[in-house]
Each structure stands twice: as structure tokens, then as C-alpha cells.
Structure 1
Amino acid sequence: MSAPNDNDPRHLETLDRDLARYSNLELATSYVARPIVGPGLALLFVILAGLAAALFLGQANNTLIVVIAACLGAYMALNIGANDVANNMGPAVGANALTMGGAIVIAVVFESAGALIAGGDVVSTIAKGIIAPDSMANATVFIWAMMAALLAAALWVNMATWIGAPVSTTHSVVGGVMGAGIAAAGFAAVNWPTMSAIAASWIISPLLGGIIAAAFLWLIKTRIIYQEDKIAAARCWVPVLIGLMAGTFATYLALKGLKHLIAIDLTAALLIGAGIGVAIWVAMIPVIARQSVGLENRNKSLKTLFAVPLVISAALLSFAHGANDVANAVGPLAAIVQASQSGDFMSAVRIPLWVMVIGALGISFGLFLFGPKLIRMVGGQITKLNPMRAYCVALSAAITVIVASWLGLPVSSTHIAVGGVFGVGFFREWDAERRLKKARLTMPDRPSYSKEERQRRKLVRRSHFMTIIAAWVVTVPAAAVLSGMIFWGITLILG
């Protein structure tokens, strides 16, 4: 029998089919493996955080407890990056001012910078006064309670990310601390006035964010978009809006992002913001005049004038978020470290640098691995965003925090940002309906839409709206119940 001829067309055809099968097998394998790559890398980071804690502490007391706590802190930081950071980057990505890759790079850099440069080095003993410190029987009970709170909060945020709901990581930690405190010392240990204020913020945060975002969108529409000469109107108003954004973010960063480096009160922060805002407004007048040369008199041309300010605002929001929310991941961890090493759980907790690094890297890593899902949801699936609408959301987030600081109200940055997106979407619905009614008055013969058609044409997706609101409402109680159950489990196993 003769050997097969390599030049035989039939042999070459068979070889091509075999190679195609191998190629398809390789492609299928990559698709099967892709879902486990992220969790695998996340698990590796958690293990490395525990090893780093062990190497840093050496033969110190209760090293094993601190290593476990470091793993839990790393897990929480990953979930903050996966869920919370979407609120800062989602609008810019949804408006196509940033690509997903660009958003992740900017967020990683500025979140890490905010956490390491301006992150809180002092936090209160137990999550901002939620639980009275003297209610804990001893340092061991306190450590178990903080571990339960940290794990419960991380699990809840993880589940919320999985279902596609942006939730407040601050409220998750608060709920976890409350649940563990109740399990450890009873309901009397809870500071109920503080909890009432936090519950009020569920309503105050999104309402303030939504109203302010809608107000700025109304300003942009009436002063620029609905004008006969849109470009001339933009030359007048866009420098004002950019100056307002610059001044607002300067005030915001002075109050929230840099408060751990320099002590600045609200009045001083407002003066700083006003000075910077006026300077930027004057500087942007010739810049916008040059950018607007040759632009067509239509809405699409206006988007280019808002793109750069929107990217800058996303970066600044990420810096301030990293400075403030890193404590959600590492605050309980730092408390466990202090209680384990010194037995002191009554005084304020100082966060060591290595603990801050775990928090900063975890937030950045979580964003890189799991953040795109929530970024897409916030940026494009609730309502359609363009640079003008996204600008309103970003500016609303900064202004609402300033107003809340002035009024002394506890607010959630997550609720503010998502509330701003809802505010923009619902304003668009109202404005579209208003213009439709006005058109019917001028053109009575114009056909009207049926009830079903009007419902279909809604500009805010109601399914996302209901899912997010439900997740907000149950965050604190769900984290509290989960934390209490974990605490009881720890006491049964180790007690």
C-alpha cells in the first residue's frame, strides 16, 4: 500500500478540516475558561494579601487572626472596585467620552492615588458610632464582630454586583457592623439616632442627586440646545458650566478628598472653589471659542465641547472616592489589627500603610476584573447618556455632597450618582411629553400614541429602576442579618 501523497488535494482538504477542528476546540476552551479567570485572579489576590500580612507581622501576637482579616479586607476591596467605582466611570463611558479601557486605567490610577495620598488614617472605633464600644465584652468578641461585619458586607456587595445593582458599600459595612453588634451585645448597643439618619439618606441622596442633575440638564437644554444658534449659545454658556464644574470639584476635593492632609472647613473650601471656578471660566472662554470654529449648528457638535470636562470630572470623582471609601474595606481590618496586637478596641483606630495598600490595590484590581458589568449598566442601561447628560450627573454628584455637608446630612455617593442618572432620564421623559403636548396644540391632526406605545417609549428602564431601589432598601437589613448569622457561626465554632 502506497504512502499518502502530501500534495494530494484530498489529503490537504482533510488536513484543513483537522486544523479547523483544533482551532474551534481552542476557541471553545477559551470561552469555557473565561468565566473562571476573574474569580481565579481575585482569589490569588486575596491569598497574596494574607501572605503579605503574615510576612509583615512576622511572629506577632494573633498573626493568624490578622491574616484572615487581611484576606477578608482584600475581598471587600475587590467588591468595592467591582461595584462602587462604576458610579464614577459609568456616565463617561455611556456618553462615549471614554472607552472602557480608558475608564479603567483612569479609575485605577486616581482611585489608588486617592486612597494612598488622601485616604483616612483615622477612623472611629466601630464604623462611625454605629455600635457603642463599651458594649463589647472584650477584645475577642470585638474582633469576631468586625470579621463578621467585613465578610457580610463583602458578600452582600458581591451578590449585588452579580445581579447588576449598584449599592452603597458604606451602607453595607454599616449594616454588617450593626448586625454583628446586635448579635454580640443586643439591640441596646446600637446608636439608633445615627441609624435613623442613615436610613433617611436612602431617600435624601438619590432625590438630591436627581433634582440637581435634572436642573442642570434643563439649563443646558433651554440655554443651548433649544436656541436657534446653538454654537453661539455654547460659546457663552459652556465656559460658565466648565468653570462651575471646576469650582465645584475644587470645593468637593477640599472637603472630602484632602481633608486628611489639610484641615479645611466648608467656608474656606467654598472660597477656594469660587476662586478656581472663576479662573477656569475666564481661561475657557478663548478655548471654547477656538474649539467651536467650524462646528455645525446641531446637537451632535455640542458633544465635543463637553467630552474633556467629563473625563476630568470622572478622574476627580475617582480620586475623592478612593480617599473616602477605602475605609469601608480597611477600616474594620485596621480595627482588628489594633485589637489583636494591643487589645485596645475603645480608642480611635489608625490605619497602617500596608493595610491602606491592600485596600487601594484591591479596589483597583476589583474594578479591572469585574467593573465593566456595572459600568455598562450605570452608563447605558438605565437611560441613554450623551456628554451633556453625563456632565449633569457628574456635577450633581459633587454639588450634592457639598450641600449635604453644609446641612449635616449623611449621604451615599452611590445613591447620589445613580440618582443623578435617574433624574436625567426622568427629566427627559417629562420634557419629551411636554414637547409632544405642545406640538399637538399647534398641530391638532398629529396622530397620538396609545397607552402601550407611550409605555414602550419610556426613556428610563423600569426593570433596572425597581431592581436598584429594592437593593438600596434591603442593603442595611440584609447585611445586618447576614452579619449576625456569621457572628453566631463564629461563636459556635470558636466559642
Structure 2
Amino acid sequence: MLASILFISVCFLAYANGANDNFKGVASLFGSGTLNYRLALTWATVTTLAGSIAALFLAQTLLVKFSGKGLAPDALIHTLPFMIAVAGSAGLTVILATRYGFPVSTTHALLGAMAGSTLLATSGDISFAPLLNNFVLPLLLSPLVALVLAALVYRVLIMGFKRQRIESDLCLCVENPDSLSLAGNANMSMAIDSATVPVLSVDSQNVCAERQASLILGINLQRLRDGLHFCSAGAVCFARGLNDTPKIAALLLLAPGFDLQWIIILVATAMLLGGVFNARRVAETMSHKITPITHDQGLSANLVTAFLVIFASKFGMPVSTTHVSVGSLFGIGLVSGKANTGVIASIALSWLLTLPCSAICSAVISHYLSSNL
């Protein structure tokens, strides 16, 4: 009976996570007009699923951390009621935020749920040191780091694009030997030697043609930028799947009859369905309400988000993809002067409420289960 309830609770949490989180990686593609909603969602679904499967091989540390080990007594975390309360309350918190279009952190909800159940079960006996070092600090610092890095990356891209117009084409060209002038050289032998050696250069196609150079490789900078933007969005979704899947899968490790491979597949499938059927409201918030997004800004935000989340996953740091991606977009909005501070304030408030809301729900569920079992 309890194993079945835990199974349903974890599936519900994974569904809520997908609904709230799946679209965040491709929000810049939708917001900048690169892709419409359906195509952006399809790309998010495919790449998130790939990240979820990769979590089986690359994110073992998070599986241990989000089983609650070190935060709560071992005698507590190895009970099914504790895991049911954590999964159920976190799922309720995330799906409620999704209903109103707030991009919240599943990591934050899980942390609050674990804390609430532990405080109730142990009458306040909770280990605050691992809570602070392993959970709170990464969650607090990650959006600030993302904000600064995204602002810096965007400034670097803007400086590069000012030197070379993004609409122009570049080509790698080779100078024809007979086009090199020999006049004005003091040493004729040196001129002859230089005339027989082809000279490679990178310039616009028009300049190459005027110099009668042969086109070797043409590069359309706009297409290159859009391609990088598309790939970076996929990288963010991959990183999110890699980081979030083990957090949720850890809650099913105690369920009998499941091995790790099937747990990962189950969680990945539920996340996929949540993103497909309930991602629209959060998509609008992330894509259009935080700040207007251009191709360059979206590329900058995605590069920073993907880097930080993959780095955190590798070293077992439970950062929130939500916090990182919102921090990146806000940093770019500050640089461009178009950040919607009212929306950011509302999102920040929802982040603050996530932990106590999840903790209260978890304590209520734990009390109900302990009273009726």
C-alpha cells in the first residue's frame, strides 16, 4: 500500500517538475522568435529526455544527497512515509506555482519538504550544517553567479558583434599569386618569393571578390549565431534533465521491485508528459515577462545556464536550473536596461514562499500518515 502511494507521489512530482521546468531552457528561443511554441517545446522535450537518461551515468552523487542522507536521521529517511511526504508536498508546491505561471525550483521544494518532515518527526532535531553547506548555499549563490556571468558574456558578444556586423558573411579566401603587386618593393627577390606563396585571409565576401580571391569557406554569421543559440538551448535542457532527474529518482530508491534503470526511465517519462501538457504558463513568464530577449541575449543566457548546471551536476551540487536561468535573464536585462523588476520581484517572492509552503505541506502529510498507520 505505502509503496504504491510512494510510486504515485514520485510520478506526480516528476510530472509537476516537467510542467514547471521543461520549457525554461528554450524560453529564449520562443521569446526571441527563433522558434514557435510547438517547435521550442519539441526541442526541449527531446533534449531534456536525453539529459534524464544521461543522469544514470553522470549524476550518482545527487542520488545520494536527495535521499535525505545527512539532513535527517537514517532511521527516518529509510521509511516510506517520510519519502511519501517529501514527494507529495514538493509536487503540490510545484504544480500550484505552475498553475499561476511562476517558475519555481523543484530543488527548493524538495529541500523544504525534507526539512518539514524531519522537524515534525524529530521534534526539531535536524542537522543544520549539511542543510546550509550542501543545499542552502548553492541555491543562494547560483543565481548571483549566473547574473554576473551572463552580463559579462553578453557584453563580450556585443563587443565582438560591433567589430563585425552580424548580418555580413565571412569567407576564408586565398590571394591569387598573380594579383600581388611587385611594385614598391626594395628587394625584388623577396617580392618574387612572396608572390609565389598564396596568402590566406578572413574578410567579407565582397572584399574577397574585389581582390579576385578564391572563396574557400563561406560563413554566414547570422546563421552561425542562430545555430549556436539553438544548440545552447538544447544544452540547458540537457543539463536540467541531468540535474533534476536524480533528485526525484532518489525518492523511489526505497520502493521494492524497482531497479535504478527503471526508476530513471519512469521519472524521465513523467517529466516529459508534464512538459508536453502543462508548460504554457511558465513558458510565457520566462519568454516574455522577465525581459525582452534577442538572439544574442538568449545565446548568452543559455551558455551561462548550461555551463553552471552541468558543472554543478558533475560535482553533486544541488543548484536550481530555475534560479540559474532566471538569474541569467535578469543579468542580461540589467545590462540592456529592459529588465522587468516587478516580475522579478514576484518570482523572488515565489522562491521565498516555496520552502515554507513545501515544509508545511510535508509536515501535514507526515502527521496524517503517522496518525492513520
- Give the TM-score taking structure 1 as reference length: 0.60
In structure 2, how many angstroms separate the alpha carbons of the residues matched to 1:112 and 1:407? 21
Instruction: From 280, 284, 294, give the equivalent of 1:372.
Output: 280
Instruction: From 156, 171, 176, give the equivalent of 2:108.
Output: 171
1:489 counterpart = 2:365: no
In structure 2, how many angstroms separate the alpha carbons of the residues matched to 1:400 and 1:467? 24
Deviations 1:347-386 (A, max 9, x none): xxx8533322221111111000011221221112111001
1 or 2 for the larger relative contact order (CA 8 Å, sep ≥6)? 2
1:290 counterpart = 2:219: yes
**Residue 76 (structure 1) aligns with:** 13
Summarize the Cα distance change of 1:121–1:404 in structure 2 as closer, same or farther, 3 Å threshold: closer
Please tell me whether the aligned partners of residues 168 and 220 of structure 2 are also in contact (alpha carbons under 8 angstroms): no
Superposition map of 1:135-174 within 5 A:
135-136=75-76, 142-174=79-111
Deviations 1:374-400 (A, max 9, x none): 122111211100110000001111333
1:134 counterpart = 2:74: yes
**Residue 191 (structure 1) aligns with:** 127
Q: How many residues matched?
A: 327
Partner amino acid for 2:72? A
Please tell me whether the aligned partners of residues 226 and 295 of structure 2 are also in contact (alpha carbons under 8 angstroms): yes
Q: Which moved more, 1:399-408 or 1:70-79?
A: 399-408
Deviation for aligned residue 1:148: 0.5
Partner amino acid for 2:358? A
Q: Percent identity?
A: 25
Question: Gapped runs of 5+ residues in structure 1?
Answer: 1-63, 237-281, 293-301, 342-349, 430-458
Deviation for aligned residue 1:233: 8.7
Please tell me whether the aligned partners of residues 130 and 177 of structure 1 are also in contact (alpha carbons under 8 angstroms): no
Please tell me whether the aligned partners of residues 169 and 220 of structure 2 are also in contact (alpha carbons under 8 angstroms): no
**Residue 24 (structure 1) aligns with:** none
Summarize the Cα distance change of 1:405–1:362 in structure 2 as closer, same or farther, 3 Å threshold: closer
Partner amino acid for 1:313? S
**Residue 194 (structure 2) aligns with:** none
Summarize the Cα distance change of 1:305–1:156 in structure 2 as closer, same or farther, 3 Å threshold: same
1:414 counterpart = 2:343: no
Deviations 1:114-162 (A, max 9, x none): 22343356722763535334352x95xx211110010000000011111
| Structure (1 or 2) with the greater helix fraction | 1
Please tell me whether the aligned partners of residues 180 and 483 of structure 1 are also in contact (alpha carbons under 8 angstroms): yes
**Residue 250 (structure 2) aligns with:** 331
Deviation for aligned residue 1:235: 5.0
**Residue 318 (structure 1) aligns with:** 237
In structure 2, how many angstroms separate the alpha carbons of the residues matched to 1:368 and 1:386? 25
Deviation for aligned residue 1:477: 2.4
Summarize the Cα distance change of 1:232–1:357 in structure 2 as closer, same or farther, 3 Å threshold: closer
Deviation for aligned residue 1:168: 1.2
Question: Gapped runs of 5+ residues in structure 2?
Answer: 172-201, 203-214
Superposition map of 1:25-36 within 5 A:
none
In structure 2, how many angstroms separate the alpha carbons of the residues matched to 1:200 and 1:381? 27
Summarize the Cα distance change of 1:287–1:426 in structure 2 as closer, same or farther, 3 Å threshold: farther
Deviation for aligned residue 1:487: 0.5
1:309 counterpart = 2:228: yes
Summarize the Cα distance change of 1:208–1:196 in structure 2 as closer, same or farther, 3 Å threshold: same
